[in-house]
Structure formats: structure tokens, C-alpha cells
A and B are shown apart, each in its own frame.
Chain A
Amino acid sequence: MSKFGTVYIQYVKNYYRSRSFYLMLFLISIISIMMIYFSFKYVNNLPKFFGSSSIPIQIKEALFYFLWTLVLLYVPVFAAVFFGSPAISSEIENKTAYFIFPLPINRYKLYMGKFLAACTVSVIIMMIYLIAEVGTLSYLFHSLPTIYFYYSFILLILFILAMTSITFMISAIFNKNTYAYITVLLIYYIVFYVGSFIIELLYRIDPLYILSDAASVIERAYMNINTENFFSTPSLSPVPFADIIFSALIMIIYFIASFAIGLILFERKEVS
């Protein structure tokens, strides 16, 4: 097996045995169970909730898809924070760098192996939720996932790659895990969200080039609804394909740029 493969397997092992993994597993299980419970409980009560005698099945289905996919946008962020934020800083803080750096292996192989391991465990966590989602909605609405689900899944993978890549880059800046955790959360929830809000307010455009906005396409692709229109005038117009492509490209750019910067920082990382 190649050195890269060896590093990947070791880090996957270390991740899936870690407390962070079990905590994420616990969280995703609780969320999934709650979503299943609410889906079954409220599927027939929606008309009452909206004060109408009946609502079309497509709207009902779209609402449930919306609720499930809304969660889908937040879980990769938490997974990336849990697995990615301490990825590099912990090597310094926990002194494992003294073991790993003197080994005869190029650093980029270490970085890539660990990155791929963190993405793998994030995808495992997401798969649990996705299986619960698809299973529940298929049972309730007697429909199998359409091609849009697979688009959404690919976009979700891109989002996990981009998010994990950003957390690795930030982790490579710091020597303390706490700083890395805080900075990632600040960047995602303050810089991205507030930035997006201000741009929307000032220029009346949806800034898809901000990662959090670009990621919203996961939900829109899955529902195949242009949510912007849906909330103003509840119509079921499909998400423009150009939006899917553009958002995917944005996530790829975030992934490549932050991965490259993180790698350069890691190559220069010192334990002093």
C-alpha cells in the first residue's frame, strides 16, 4: 500500500474511534429520529397548520423536503468543525508532530491523507441522515429519489470538501485547537452569513459566491424548487440549472483555494 493510503487508513481509524465521531454520531441519530417522528406525526396535520382544508401533495412533499434538507446544510458544517478544526493544530498542541514529522514521508501526503480521512468520516455521518431522509420521505410520499437527489448528493459532497478544506486551512494557521474551532465558527457564521446578509441588503442580489449561499443550492437542487420564488409566491418552479453549476463551481473554487493555502501552511509548519 502507498504511504498516502497508509496515512489515510490510520487517520480514518483514529477518527472513527474518537469522541468527536461518537458525538457527531449521537447528534445525527437524535436529529434523524426527531425528523422521522415529526414527519410521521405532522404529515396529515399540515392543512390544519396552514389553516386550509387541503394542500396539494406536491406542496406538502416540498415542505417536508425543505425541512429535511435545511438540516442537511448545517450538519456538514458541524462535522467539518469537529473533524477539521483540530486536524493540524492538534498535531502541534498534542505533540503528535514529534512522532509523525520525523517519519520518512512528504508532508503533502500526510495532509492529503488526513484531509481525505476527515471527509470520509463526515460523509459517513451524512449518509446516516440521508438514508433516514430518503427512507422516511419515500415511505410517506411513495416516491423514490429523483435525479435531483443525486445532484444534491454530489453538491453535498462538494460542500463537505470545501468546508473541510477551509477548516484544515484555518487549523494549519494555529497551534491551539480552541483558536481553530472559534475562528472556523466565526468565519462561517459571522463573516459568511453577515456578509451575505449585507450584500443582499445593499445590492439586492443573492451572493452565490459566498460559500454559505452557494451551499443553499444543495437544498434547492434536492427539492428542485427555486426557494426564492417559493416563499414569495409558493410556486414550484424548478431551480435554474445554471445556479446548480455556478454554485458547484464556487464550492470547487473554495475547496481548491483553501486546500492549496492549507497545504503551503502545513509544509512550512514548525513545532517550536
Chain B
Amino acid sequence: MEIFMNSLTKKYGKITALNNINLNIKGQGCVGLLGPNGAGKTTMLKLITNIIKPTHGGVQINGINVSENPEKGLNFVGSLIEQPEFYTYLTGNEILDFTRKIKGIGKEDFKNKIGDIINTTQISTFIDRKTGSYSRGMKQRLALAVAMIGDPEIIILDEPTFGLDPKGMKDIRTLISNLAKTKLILLSTHLIYEAREICDRTIIINNGIIEHDSNMADNKFLLKITLDSPERSIVSGKIKNYAINGNEIIVEKYNDYENYEIIEDLINQGIKVKYVEQFDNLEDVYISIIKKNKVNI
């Protein structure tokens, strides 16, 4: 399972929505695509799914150029792009069956798997109704079910939790986490906590270019330690770097050590720790990128 982008460029008139992207996404797991509105996230997903055509370069899915051979290339892909609508006079069931036929899945095979998809996406209560009567959230769930039909090895999701209630959001995140164990998920979101919770790799895109690409494991883990009283300095061999601001210390720890080991070191020095909060620096990276380049799309 592989998505390969080669010099991928998309221009709308004078505006360059995506500029010479070279990216290789391979293997199972969840890859988060982060960026502000208009950064080029959806443009990238639309190019991958052949909704739009590249101005220059191309996208290959498992070695097949999508815009040249969509019938073959997109057979590996399930997708939910933007907030899709369905033919209003068809029922949810008919939409799923239509997708099945287009993906060339046999009736028996479909019967065996559709139950799970319906349960997972919780669409059973309205699946026999015409889609014209669906709410935003119902359409989103149906779109997710459509994306899962045929057990595709690559799933492209553009803000899949949009329009869902908090429980629905949680369910979908759990579902994505489970899917990512065996599939390649490309998830576009502007919610950093969502990417942090689900993704193994994050790509930050801004002004049509990739500004940051890292594995979540590589993100520096930071601790914010609040003390009873201000300190001038601390000593610990388990700490890579630190900054003190009154009775607050930001610690960048070595990945080999657990949080409690660092706290133990501080307590051994007679420092009274009030509470500890762990965070990564993804948010800082994101904000610094956005601040550096003002979005102009």
C-alpha cells in the first residue's frame, strides 16, 4: 500500500494551491495531514482521488497513475472527501449497493461484510430511507460506510468527524485507529489533538508546500512541571533541555526515560513538585509554521 506524489502541482489560474509536492506514504498506519484552511490539504486529497487533475506531476497509487487509469488506481482506495452528497432519490442501501457493483464486489462477499460496516458506522436506523432526508451527520456516516466498502487497503479521509456529535467523533476516531492497524489511512484534519490521538505520522502543509513531516514518535516529548516555589536550576541526567519560568519548568526529556524517573530526580534534590503535564511540540511547530507564512489562499 503506497501513495506516491511526484512533483505534484495544482494551479487555479494564478493561484498555486499545491506546489511541487514530492511525497511517499507507504505501509499501514495513519498519516495526518495538518494545515490551516486553504493550505492545500483538500486539494491534495482531491488530486489523489481524481476529483481534480494535476497541473504538473502526478499521483501514483500502488504504482498506478490515478488520473491516467482511475478505474484501476482507485480500486485500492476508499475515500471521504469534503462533505459529500448523495443522489437524493436513492436510499442509503442503494448507494452502498451501487458502490459495491462499481467496485466489482460479489453479492455474497458483500453480504458477509456489510453488516460490520453498517454496525461500525451506525447507519442501520436510516439506511432504508432516501438520502435526501439525511442530516449532515447521517450523510457523513454513510460516506464513511461507502469508503469502507470493498475493504480497500488505502482510506482517504477529509475531516471525517465534521458534523458529528462528540460521541460520534469519538467512535469515528476509535474506528480510524482500528483501521490503521491493517490499512494506510490518510487523514486530513485541522484538529491537532485529533492527529495526535490517531496518527503515527504527521505532515503539516501550508501555502501549498510541505512544511513539516515527522513520525509522532520522533516528536519531542515535553513535560510542564509546576513547583510549589520558584527554582533557579535543576540537575538531572535524564533531561535533555529545560527552561524555568518562576515556579514552572518546561522539560525536554530523553525518550528512554519515563516521566516518574525525572520527577524522582527532582524530588531527590528537594524540589517540591505540585503537578506534571505531558505534551508534545506538534502544536508549537504548527503555530510557528502558520505564523511564519501568512496563508494567502
Q: Which residues of A contact B (CB under 8 A)?
A: 1, 3, 6-7, 10, 13-14, 17-18, 94-99, 101-107, 268, 270-272
In this complex, the member of B84, B143, B146 whose beta carbon has the largest number of chain A beta carbons within 10 angstroms is B84
* Identity of the chain A residue whose Cβ is nearest the Cβ of B147 in the assembled complex: A102
Would you call A97 and B51 a contact (CB within 8 A)? yes
- Given contacts A6-B102, A106-B71, is CB(A98)–CB(B51) below 8 Å? yes
Sorted nearest first, the 5 A-B pairs with minimum C-beta distance are A17-B89, A102-B49, A98-B84, A104-B74, A95-B85
Would you call B81 and A13 a contact (CB within 8 A)? no
Would you call B89 and A95 a contact (CB within 8 A)? no
Indicate whether B280 reaches chain A with its CB closer than 8 angstroms: no
Report A-chain residues with C-beta under 8 Å of the C-beta of B79: 102
Find B86's partner among A6, A99, A105 (CB 8 Å cutoff).
A99
**CA of A1 to CA of B107, assembled, Å:** 12
- Given contacts A102-B49, A102-B77, A102-B81, is CB(A96)–CB(B101) below 8 Å? no
B145-160 vs A, Cβ < 8 Å mask (1 yes, 0 no): 0100000000010000
Report A-chain residues with C-beta under 8 Å of the C-beta of B88: 14, 94
**CA of A39 to CA of B281, assembled, Å:** 84
- Given contacts A3-B102, A10-B94, is CB(A102)–CB(B51) below 8 Å? yes
Find B51's partner among A6, A18, A268, A270 (CB 8 Å cutoff).
A270
Report B-chain residues with C-beta under 8 Å of the C-beta of A105: 70-71, 102
Would you call B51 and A271 a contact (CB within 8 A)? yes
**CA of A19 to CA of B223, assembled, Å:** 61
- Given contacts A10-B94, A10-B98, A99-B85, is CB(A104)–CB(B75) below 8 Å? yes
**CA of A272 to CA of B55, assembled, Å:** 13
**CA of A268 to CA of B50, assembled, Å:** 10
B82-98 vs A, Cβ < 8 Å mask (1 yes, 0 no): 11111111100011001
Find B52's partner among A10, A13, A270 (CB 8 Å cutoff).
A270
Report A-chain residues with C-beta under 8 Å of the C-beta of B95: 99
- Given contacts A96-B86, A99-B146, A101-B49, is CB(A1)–CB(B101) below 8 Å? yes
User: Shortest Cβ distance from B156 into chain A, in angstroms?
Assistant: 8
Would you call A6 and B101 a contact (CB within 8 A)? yes
Find A101's partner among B12, B50, B71, B143 (CB 8 Å cutoff).
B50
Find B102's partner among A13, A18, A103 (CB 8 Å cutoff).
A103
Indicate whether B238 reaches chain A with its CB closer than 8 angstroms: no
Report B-chain residues with C-beta under 8 Å of the C-beta of A98: 51, 81-85
- Given contacts A1-B101, A268-B53, A272-B52, is CB(A103)–CB(B87) below 8 Å? no
Would you call B87 and A14 a contact (CB within 8 A)? yes
**CA of A104 to CA of B87, assembled, Å:** 18
In this complex, the member of A94, A98, A104, A272 whose beta carbon has the largest number of chain B beta carbons within 10 angstroms is A104
Find A102's partner among B53, B74, B86, B90 (CB 8 Å cutoff).
B74
**CA of A104 to CA of B73, assembled, Å:** 7
Report B-chain residues with C-beta under 8 Å of the C-beta of A17: 89-90, 130
Indicate whether B219 reaches chain A with its CB closer than 8 angstroms: no
**CA of A103 to CA of B50, assembled, Å:** 9
Report B-chain residues with C-beta under 8 Å of the C-beta of A268: 53
Would you call A104 and B103 a contact (CB within 8 A)? yes
Indicate whether B177 reaches chain A with its CB closer than 8 angstroms: no
Would you call A104 and B94 a contact (CB within 8 A)? no
Indicate whether B122 reaches chain A with its CB closer than 8 angstroms: no
Indicate whether B46 reaches chain A with its CB closer than 8 angstroms: yes
User: Shortest Cβ distance from B285 into chain A, in angstroms?
Assistant: 29
**CA of A103 to CA of B82, assembled, Å:** 15
Report B-chain residues with C-beta under 8 Å of the C-beta of A94: 85, 88
Find A14's partner among B71, B74, B83, B90 (CB 8 Å cutoff).
B90
Report B-chain residues with C-beta under 8 Å of the C-beta of A102: 49-51, 74, 77, 79, 81, 156
Would you call B74 and A6 a contact (CB within 8 A)? no
**CA of A157 to CA of B200, assembled, Å:** 58
**CA of A36 to CA of B46, assembled, Å:** 54
**CA of A102 to CA of B73, assembled, Å:** 10
Indicate whether B6 reaches chain A with its CB closer than 8 angstroms: no
